[in-house]
Each structure stands twice: as C-alpha cells, then as structure tokens.
Structure 1
Amino acid sequence: MTGTMKAAAFWAAIAIPATYPVLLYMGLEGTTGLLFVALLIANALALALGHDYNR
C-alpha cells in the first residue's frame, strides 16, 4: 500500500467519528441507521489500513 493511501486512511479514521453525534442526534431509524453502521465499518477499515501511517 502506498504512503498516500495510508495517509488518507489515517485521516479518514480521525474524521469519520465526527459524524457520529449528528447521526445519533437524528436517530437511527431507517437509512440513518444504515448510514451509521456503514460509517462504523468504514471507520474500522480505515483504522486497519492507516494504523501504521508515519511510522
């Protein structure tokens, strides 16, 4: 994996959780709940891919 991809994954892992409070405030019914789960999965993937960025 390239350094650019690791950097993008690292920063995505930091930025994605910023959306959680908004989604939780809106409620997790219907598509909002699906979006929340998708963002949790995306965050886990970003954490896995970007964990060794800048080491």
Structure 2
Amino acid sequence: MTLSPHKQHKIYIAATMVYGLGSEDPEEVSYCTQIKEEMKKDRKNGNLGISRSN
C-alpha cells in the first residue's frame, strides 16, 4: 500500500519541524527516515535553500 499525498505531506511537515511521527507503520517510518536523511545530506552539502543570483 502506498502513502496518500495527504499522508506524505503530514509526514514531511513532521520531519521538517522535528516533531514526533506518532506512528509505528513501517511505511510511514521509512518515508520519514528518508526525508530526514535527505535533509541531513543537504545540510552537510550546504544546500540550505534557494541560492541568490546577485
């Protein structure tokens, strides 16, 4: 079963705001972990937003 876009958005918000997920569903936990790993990788590489052109 895939996650609905609404559920994906709720998990994304919880991950970016460093809130607890509140679920033990393996699919939701893996999606949250994936988002947190991408955020960690972006932070490490210095990709913290939109780069300015001027």
Q: Which has the higher contact order (CA 8 A, sep 6+)?
A: 1
Q: TM-score, normalised by structure 2?
A: 0.45
